[in-house]
Structure 1
Amino acid sequence: MASMFEPSMSSSLSRQLPMSATAPSMADSLPSINFGFDELRDRMAKFSARFDTFIEQGRKRVLEERNQFRMSIAELQEDQRMKKKDMEILQLRTNAHQQTIAKEAAEKREMQAAIASLTEQRNKNMASRDELKKQIETTQKEIDARLAAQRAHAQHIEAQARFNGPELDFWISNLCLTIEGAGKTDRLKFVYTHIDERDWEREAWFELSTSSRDYDVRHCRPKLEREKVERVLERVNESRELVTLLKGMRELFVEAVKQ
C-alpha cells in the first residue's frame, strides 16, 4: 500500500512555507492513492444484486414451501375427513352387522324352540301312533274273534235249523205257536194262542233279539217278570236249544194269565 498520509505534517509545512501562485502545489507532489472505490462500488452492486437475488429466491422458496405446507395440511385435513367419514360408515356397518347378528341369534333361538316343540309333538304323535297301532291290533283281534264266533254260531244255527226243522214244526203245532217278523232284521216275534182256558183265541207274544250270540227277549205281552224271563234265557243260552225258550215262555204266559 502507498505511504500513509499524515495530516499533521502537511499542516505544519503549509504554515511554514508561503504559498506562491507560480510554485507547484504540495498536493501535486504527493503520491496518488487509489482506494478502489469504483471496484468496491461495483462489487457492492454485484453483492447487492446477488443478495437481492438470494432474498428473492429465498422468499419464493419460502412461499412455495408455505404453499406446499398448506396444500399438505389441506390434503391431511381432507384425508382426515375422509378417514373420519370412512370410520363413521364402518361404525354404521358394524352396528348394522351387530343388529343383524342379534336378529339372527333371536331367529335361531326361535327356530330352536320351534324345532324342540315340533320334536316333542312328533314324539307324542309317534307314541300316540304306537298306542293306536296297539289298540287297532287289539281291536282287530277282537273283531276276528267275534267274526269267528259269529261264523261258528251261524254254522251251529244252520246245523241246528236243519236238525230242528221237523222238530220246530212239531212244537209250533203242539204249542199253538206262529212265528212272525218284528219289523227288524235281527228280531223275530213268537205269538201263542190257547193259553187262556177262558179265551182260547187270546194271544200272548214276545220278541226275540238275535243280534248277538246270546238270545234276548226285548218285548212281551202280557208283561212278565224280568227275573223269570232271565232264568229262561239263561237255560236257553247254556243249552243253545230254541225249544227250551219256546216252552219256557209259554209256561210263563200260561202262569201270567191265570193270575
Structure 2
Amino acid sequence: MPTTISPPMFSTSQSDFRTSQAQSQQNASFSYSESHLTQLPAPNFNFDDLRRRMNEFTTKFDAYIERGRRQVLSERNSFRARLSELNEEQKSTSQQIHSLHSSLASHNHILGREAREKSEIQSQITSLQSHADSQRTHRDQIKSAIASTQCAIDTKVAAQKAYAEKLATQSALNGPELQFWETYLGTTIDGGGEDGLIRVTYTFAPARGQQEEQQAMFELQVPDSGNGGYEVVYAKPRLESEAIKKVVTRLNECRDIAMLLKRMRMLFQETMGERMILR
C-alpha cells in the first residue's frame, strides 16, 4: 500500500535545504588568506651561527681525534718499547734459568758424588773399625799366647837350670867314673855337633891276623829335661833295632849311663864278631 506524504512535512524539508544552500554560498565567498589558521610562521634558522658552531665542533673533534691518535701512537710506541724490554728480560731470564738449570744439574751431580764418596768412606770406616776390632782381638790373643809362652819358657828355663845344676853336680861326680870307663872300655865321648847330641866311640883291639884297631860308634840324643827319654839316633856298624830299643828302654827306666855303655859295647862286639866269623 503506497505511503502518502502530507504537504506540510514536504514544505518544511524544502525550506531547510534552501537555508543550508544559502549558508554554503556565504561560506564560499570567505577568503582563506585572511584567516590566521592558513598563515604559516616564517622560521629563522640562523645558519651562520649553526655553521660557526659546526666549525668549532669540527675543530674540537679534529683536535680530539689528533690527541687520541697521538695518545694511541704514544701508547703503541710505549707498548712496543715495553714489549722489547719484556723480550730482553725474557731472554735474560731464559739464560738465567738455563744457567740455574746447569748449576742445579752440576750441584746435583756434586751432591751425588759426595753421597757416594760419603757412603764409600762410611763403608771404609766400618771396615777399618771391624779390622781394628779384629786386630785388637788378635792382639789380645797374641798377648795371651805370649804370656802363656813366657810362662812355659820360664818353666822350661827353671827346669833346664835345675837340670843344668843337676848335670853340673853329676858331672863333678861322673868325671872320675867317665875317665874310668874311657880307659876301661876304650870309649871316647864327644859332642855330636847339635844340642843334646852325644857321640860315643868304642875302640877295639885288633882281631887275630889283623894289625889295625876297629872302631864302632853311636849317637845318643839326650833329653832337654830330666823327665825326657833318651834315644839312639845312629849306630855304626848297624845294629838291630830291637836290640837297641831294649837297651834304650832300660836306660830310660834306670837312667844309668854305665849300663848303656856296657850293653852297647856288648852289642857292637857281638855284631863285629859275627862279621869276622862270616869273613
Q: Provide TM-score, normalisation by structure 1.
A: 0.71
Instruction: Give me the whole-angstrom Cα distance separating, in 2, the residues matched to 1:197 and 1:79.
Output: 131
Q: Which residue of 1 aligns with 2:147?
A: 137
Instruction: Give me the whole-angstrom Cα distance separating, in 2, the residues matched to 1:168 and 1:62.
Output: 144
Aligned partner (choices 199, 223, 229) of residue 244 of structure 2:
229
Instruction: Give me the whole-angstrom Cα distance separating, in 2, the residues matched to 1:184 and 1:125.
Output: 39
Q: Which amino acid aligns with 2:220?
A: L
Instruction: Give me the whole-angstrom Cα distance separating, in 2, the residues matched to 1:185 and 1:116.
Output: 51
Q: Provide TM-score, normalisation by structure 2.
A: 0.66
Instruction: Give me the whole-angstrom Cα distance separating, in 2, the residues matched to 1:230 and 1:144.
Output: 33
Instruction: Give me the whole-angstrom Cα distance separating, in 2, the residues matched to 1:42 and 1:62.
Output: 30
Aligned partner (choices 171, 188, 193) of residue 178 of structure 1:
188
Instruction: Give me the whole-angstrom Cα distance separating, in 1, the residues matched to 2:163 and 2:193.
Output: 23
**Structure 1 gap ranges (5+):** 1-8, 10-32
Instruction: Give me the whole-angstrom Cα distance separating, in 2, the residues matched to 1:196 and 1:230.
Output: 29
Instruction: Give me the whole-angstrom Cα distance separating, in 2, the residues matched to 1:204 and 1:236.
Output: 20
Q: Which residue of 2 aligns with 1:205?
A: 217
User: 8 Å contact 2:196–2:224 — kept in the other structure?
Assistant: no
Q: Which residue of 1 aligns with 2:138?
A: 128
Q: Which amino acid aligns with 2:239?
A: L
Residue 153 of structure 1 and its aligned partner are, at CA, apart by 1.7
Instruction: Give me the whole-angstrom Cα distance separating, in 2, the residues matched to 1:180 and 1:49.
Output: 155
Instruction: Give me the whole-angstrom Cα distance separating, in 1, the residues matched to 2:85 and 2:45.
Output: 62
Q: Which amino acid aligns with 1:248?
A: R
Task: Give SS of 1:205's match.
Answer: strand
Task: Give SS of 2:238's match.
Answer: coil
Q: Structure 1 pair 248/63, CA: closer, same or farther in 2 (3 Å)?
A: same
Instruction: Give me the whole-angstrom Cα distance separating, in 2, the residues matched to 1:144 and 1:81.
Output: 90
- The structure with more radius of gyration: 2
Q: How far does the alpha carbon of each residue in 1:71-94 deviate from its partner, in whole angstroms, 9 at most, with x for none?
A: 233333333333333333333333
Instruction: Give me the whole-angstrom Cα distance separating, in 1, the residues matched to 2:79 and 2:129.
Output: 72
Q: Which residue of 1 aligns with 2:265?
A: 250
Q: Which amino acid aligns with 1:143?
A: I
Instruction: Give me the whole-angstrom Cα distance separating, in 1, the residues matched to 2:52 and 2:207.
Output: 187
Instruction: Give me the whole-angstrom Cα distance separating, in 2, the residues matched to 1:166 and 1:134.
Output: 48
Aligned partner (choices 49, 52, 56) of residue 66 of structure 2:
56
Task: Give SS of 2:239's match.
Answer: coil
Q: Identity of counterpart residues, as a percentage?
A: 38
Q: Structure 1 pair 225/195, CA: closer, same or farther in 2 (3 Å)?
A: farther
Q: Which amino acid aligns with 2:161?
A: R
Q: Structure 1 pair 78/203, CA: closer, same or farther in 2 (3 Å)?
A: closer
Identify the range of structure 1 (130-139 vs 195-204) with the bigger mean alpha-carbon deviation.
Answer: 195-204
Q: Which amino acid aligns with 1:139?
A: T
Number of residue pairs the alignment of both structures matches:
227
Residue 162 of structure 1 and its aligned partner are, at CA, apart by 0.5
Residue 151 of structure 1 and its aligned partner are, at CA, apart by 1.6
Q: Which residue of 1 aligns with 2:38?
A: none
Q: Which residue of 2 aligns with 1:22?
A: none
User: 8 Å contact 2:239–2:271 — kept in the other structure?
Assistant: yes
Q: Which residue of 1 aligns with 2:104?
A: 94
User: 8 Å contact 1:196–1:254 — kept in the other structure?
Assistant: no
Q: How far does the alpha carbon of each residue in 1:85-123 deviate from its partner, in whole angstroms, 9 at most, with x for none?
A: 333333333322332232223223323333333333333
Alignment RMSD (CA, Å): 3.2
Q: Which residue of 1 aligns with 2:20?
A: none
Answering whether residue 169 of structure 2 is matched by residue 154 of structure 1, we say no
User: 8 Å contact 1:195–1:254 — kept in the other structure?
Assistant: no
Q: Which residue of 1 aligns with 2:201?
A: 191
Residue 44 of structure 1 and its aligned partner are, at CA, apart by 4.3
Residue 62 of structure 1 and its aligned partner are, at CA, apart by 1.6
Q: How far does the alpha carbon of each residue in 1:147-180 deviate from its partner, in whole angstroms, 9 at most, with x for none?
A: 2222222111110010122222222222232334
Q: Which amino acid aligns with 2:95?
A: K
Answering whether residue 232 of structure 2 is matched by residue 217 of structure 1, we say yes
Q: Which residue of 2 aligns with 1:116?
A: 126
